[in-house]
A and B are shown apart, each in its own frame.
Chain A
Amino acid sequence: MESPVSSHTVSSAAADAAVVLAPAERAVRILGGELTERSLRLHLEGLSGVDAVGLEQRAEALGTRSIKTTSKAWALDKIIGLIDLTTLEGADTPGKVRSLVAKGLTPDPSDPTTPRVAAVCVYGDMVPDAVAALGVAHGDPDDGMVSVAAVATAFPSGRASLRVKLADTADAVAAGADEIDMVIDRGAFLAGRYGQVFEQIVAVKEACRREDGSSASLKVILETGELNTYDNVRRASWLAILAGGDFIKTSTGKVAPAATLPVTLLMLEVVRDWNRLTGERIGVKPAGGIRTSKDAIKYLVTVAETVGEQWLQPHLFRFGASSLLNDVLLQRQKLTTGRYSGPDYVTLD
């Protein structure tokens, strides 16, 4: 199922412009008429620019909110419930994944009131292990269960044929993944081949469909560290949403810089604008580089003050993180006991 666009190389602009794109439902609704490379390009290039200085100042101001006592306790539990506890290493083993799942289900054995994480995030071939390890606890985080997210589409570089990417996706879904974290083709995006990036997302979205007609949730990783400019991040965010992404996600965690507060703020602004336009709610997932509770709380503040507090739920906001969880547990113990805790009092997974 090679799409016409994915196989094309750089050709004349005129020919590009006329290429008809897959009629993704959202894009057709917003852009109207026949969806083409040109209509998509015109839309993306017509988006308002971003002033980097102002964006970063706003993010910094949000970062100065002071969260104390009851709000802090609420925030810490909320953060845990929004974490996609992640292991994405070449050295991952079934044992490592089981350990990760155990940590996600019981983050703090000394305190049974500690909530579970939202999901565990693993490579596609580890999905069966994660599903098996979760057992009856596998399910929707809204119901107190833990989901399985799989990175797919030749993560993290995305450098593979569409056929391989789709197979990667379909395998993970078939193995029981609830969520697919795909990467966009940054090379195509930076070369201005927006249609190609769009078509691939549409195709992956299709590959997320299960036999029973339901669908795995699709997170689209923009890899903002490689897109480099805020204008690119805004365009890529719109593109991913138009193509059908359920979540837009900052980073793979393999490229520096990964998630930053200004980038996440910008993506939240796009999500807010999409909501203003359509009433639909798209999720946002900053991933990589968020290691402390203090940082994570800044993200909660930014979500609450940009798109509203109702976004602070697992289907609309996630943290892609691994070491963040233990720092939150340390802070949580501090709130409970009134004294500072130490790394010997949280478990290593």
Chain B
Amino acid sequence: MTEIVPATDPSFLDYAPAPESTSILHLKDSYGLFINGAFVPGHGTPFASISPATETHIAEIATATPADVDAAVAAARKAYQKTWSRLSGSDRGKYLFRIARLIQERARELAVAETLDNGKPIKESRDVDVPLVAAWFFYYAGWADKLDHAGLGANPQALGVAAQIIPWNFPLLMLAWKIAPALAAGNTVVLKPAETTSLTALLFAEIVQQAELPDGVVNIVTGAGETGAALVRHPDVNKVAFTGSTAVGREIAKAVAGTGKKVTLELGGKAANIVFDDAPIDQAIEGIVNGIFFNQGHVCCAGSRLLVQENIHDEVVDRLKARLATLRLGDPLDKNTDIGAINSREQLDRIRELSNVGEAEGAERWTAPCVIPETGFWFAPTIFDNVSTSSRIAREEIFGPVLSVLTFRTPAEAIAKANNTPYGLSAGIWSDKGSKILAVADKLRAGVIWANTFNRFDPASPFGGFKESGYGREGGRQGLAAYLRAAPTPTPPSPKVRISPYSERRKPGSPRTLTNGVAE
């Protein structure tokens, strides 16, 4: 049984390059803001969007000044009053169905653009992001004429103009999470994509035009944090929806205090992925990999803390390392790439810094063997073993392909460690025992619990966090209700007949235990 692959042969596992062609894209050299149905120049200093995999220039993007934001909000307000709020739910739904179909038709183009601009592997943008984007619009399209079933009673009302700010990790998907329910509920929107990933939002603006959506219903303003701040603070905005860091979310919560604006915040996380010794082990390994290395770990709900039962720690870590050695890091446009580029130099610096801290704090660092390309921003999949609960890498969100491994001995300890964080977005549980899964899920303080799976998303399923991971839910009926308020109800007539309290009906002399329903 000798090796039959001669050394001169290229390894089969190298595969041959299988890059997705970018010829499908027809990008412009520069993009303006999308306000009132048209692309208009921004009045701030434009900035370049680059490909994080190659550091090459993709397009120039406009910066919206406060005046530009003002114009966008005014367009949204006008569209809300003149057209969108007057349309039937059925017609709003039809527009959203159109958008869903246009996304399905242009799926490949959108996937290539997303991968080029964001650095995520094409197989993820193609198989996860873009299909979910279409699904999100399809799902909420169906809600537009069924608002009475949103759970707020009959004839719920839209809020008005929604200010929406999204992050760079799932640019188009986060756009869909924000825009689809807002429009279905009857709101108009001004959306600001992240500075480093504006491209697909601007392609989406073209889709909005193709769908002949009334002008001003969707407005897209590009720029950095100042643009977002101007949008959030704008007095004519009725709803703020933000996905991003907890630090910025906290600022937003303070900024809108007292303004009556309704707020949804989808913030950071430090999810525990709990692996019990009765877990389906091979699937648990896949789940750990998917939990933290999906999208280079740029996932707010990433399973960044692996809590593994102590008696299987060595086996799990060994198997995990063996599995990570098969991950392919490189050109995100290659269909066989598992790990793409880090989205920006700034993010790469942060991941490096926290990893160095982890090492300095005494955790054992292991890095998957892979060749790092010369240009672009890259970070090889990394595991920190023997991490203590007090270590910074066990507490702070790294937002990169870095896994911290901790151990536990009993379910109670696993729960205590999992909950020992200011965050509460998600958690994973791996076990073959249903009663344990459900009991642990009960005790975890997190908004989404995955059992024997991880990082699953569906438009029908509400997503959002406990504690400092934010509030409000996106997805499902709850995600629709987040863009609605109950109809102002007339005061019901007071009842003619009043039911006497128990105490008044009791025989004289019997012990009085209740007065007006309250125990004495």
Residues on A with beta carbons closer than 8 Å to the beta carbon of B16: 67-72
Residues on A with beta carbons closer than 8 Å to the beta carbon of B287: 54
CB-contacts of B314-332 with A (<8 A): 326
**By the criterion CB–CB under 8 Å, are B278 and A309 in contact?**
no
A89 within 8 A of B: no
Closest residue of chain B to A308 (Cβ to Cβ) is: B13
**By the criterion CB–CB under 8 Å, are A310 and B283 in contact?**
no
A269 within 8 A of B: yes
**By the criterion CB–CB under 8 Å, are B452 and A281 in contact?**
no
**By the criterion CB–CB under 8 Å, are B280 and A49 in contact?**
yes
Closest residue of chain A to B326 (Cβ to Cβ) is: A305
B310 within 8 A of A: no
A99 within 8 A of B: no
CB-contacts of B261-307 with A (<8 A): 278-283, 286-287
- Smallest Cβ distance from B497 to chain A, in angstroms? 56
**By the criterion CB–CB under 8 Å, are B283 and A71 in contact?**
no
Residues on B with beta carbons closer than 8 Å to the beta carbon of A309: 5, 11-13
**By the criterion CB–CB under 8 Å, are A75 and B12 in contact?**
yes
**By the criterion CB–CB under 8 Å, are B280 and A51 in contact?**
yes
> B-facing mask of A81-120, CB < 8 A → 1, else 0?
0000000000000000000000000000000000000000
CB-contacts of A290-317 with B (<8 A): 300, 304-305, 309-310, 312-313, 315-316
Given A64-B127, A74-B12, A312-B5: A48 in contact with B281 (beta carbons within 8 A): yes
Tell me, in angstroms, the Cα distance from A69 to B19 when the chains sit together. Answer: 12
Q: A48-B278, A48-B432 are in contact. List 12 more A-B contacts (CB 8 A).
A: A48-B280, A53-B283, A53-B452, A53-B453, A54-B283, A58-B282, A65-B336, A66-B336, A67-B15, A74-B9, A281-B1, A309-B13
Interface centre among B3, B4, B9, by most A CB within 10 Å? B4
B225 within 8 A of A: no
A78 within 8 A of B: yes
Closest residue of chain B to A65 (Cβ to Cβ) is: B336
Tell me, in angstroms, the Cα distance from A55 to B280 when the chains sit together. Answer: 10
Residues on A with beta carbons closer than 8 Å to the beta carbon of B281: 48
**By the criterion CB–CB under 8 Å, are B452 and A304 in contact?**
no
Given A55-B282, A65-B15: A71 in contact with B452 (beta carbons within 8 A): no
Which of A53, A71, A305 interacts with B10 by CB under 8 Å?
A71
Which of A50, A68, A310 interacts with B18 by CB under 8 Å?
A68
Which of A71, A142, A316 interacts with B14 by CB under 8 Å?
A71
B94 within 8 A of A: no
B78 within 8 A of A: no
Which B residues are closer than 8 A to A by beta carbons?
Answer: 1-5, 9-18, 123, 127, 278-283, 286-287, 326, 335-336, 432, 452-453
Residues on B with beta carbons closer than 8 Å to the beta carbon of A68: 15-18
Residues on A with beta carbons closer than 8 Å to the beta carbon of B3: 310, 313
**By the criterion CB–CB under 8 Å, are B326 and A54 in contact?**
no
**By the criterion CB–CB under 8 Å, are A54 and B286 in contact?**
yes
Interface centre among B15, B18, B432, by most A CB within 10 Å? B15
**By the criterion CB–CB under 8 Å, are A142 and B286 in contact?**
no
Residues on A with beta carbons closer than 8 Å to the beta carbon of B335: 64-66
Tell me, in angstroms, the Cα distance from A316 to B1 when the chains sit together. Answer: 9
> B-facing mask of A54-65, CB < 8 A → 1, else 0?
110110000011
**By the criterion CB–CB under 8 Å, are A49 and B13 in contact?**
no
**Can you spell out 9 A-B residue pairs with CB atoms less than 8 angstroms apart?**
A55-B283, A57-B286, A58-B282, A65-B15, A65-B335, A65-B336, A68-B15, A305-B326, A313-B4
Residues on A with beta carbons closer than 8 Å to the beta carbon of B283: 50-51, 53-55, 58
Tell me, in angstroms, the Cα distance from A271 to B153 when the chains sit together. Answer: 58
Residues on A with beta carbons closer than 8 Å to the beta carbon of B18: 66-68
- Smallest Cβ distance from B17 to chain A, in angstroms? 7
Tell me, in angstroms, the Cα distance from A281 to B1 when the chains sit together. Answer: 10
Closest residue of chain B to A64 (Cβ to Cβ) is: B123
**By the criterion CB–CB under 8 Å, are B326 and A142 in contact?**
no
**By the criterion CB–CB under 8 Å, are A54 and B13 in contact?**
no
Closest residue of chain B to A71 (Cβ to Cβ) is: B16
- Smallest Cβ distance from A10 to chain B, in angstroms? 28
Tell me, in angstroms, the Cα distance from A69 to B127 when the chains sit together. Answer: 23
**By the criterion CB–CB under 8 Å, are A50 and B280 in contact?**
yes
- Smallest Cβ distance from A268 to chain B, in angstroms? 10
Closest residue of chain A to B123 (Cβ to Cβ) is: A64
Residues on B with beta carbons closer than 8 Å to the beta carbon of A310: 3, 5
Which of A66, A70, A266, A315 interacts with B1 by CB under 8 Å?
A315
**By the criterion CB–CB under 8 Å, are A71 and B4 in contact?**
no
Tell me, in angstroms, the Cα distance from A269 to B12 when the chains sit together. Answer: 19
Residues on B with beta carbons closer than 8 Å to the beta carbon of A51: 280, 283, 432, 452
Tell me, in angstroms, the Cα distance from A5 to B55 when the chains sit together. Answer: 69
Given A64-B123, A66-B335, A269-B282: A71 in contact with B12 (beta carbons within 8 A): yes
Tell me, in angstroms, the Cα distance from A49 to B432 when the chains sit together. Answer: 7
Tell me, in angstroms, the Cα distance from A72 to B12 when the chains sit together. Answer: 9
Residues on B with beta carbons closer than 8 Å to the beta carbon of A300: 12
Tell me, in angstroms, the Cα distance from A269 to B432 when the chains sit together. Answer: 18
- Smallest Cβ distance from A171 to chain B, in angstroms? 28
Residues on A with beta carbons closer than 8 Å to the beta carbon of B453: 53-54
> B-facing mask of A131-153, CB < 8 A → 1, else 0?
00000000000100000000000
**By the criterion CB–CB under 8 Å, are A49 and B278 in contact?**
yes
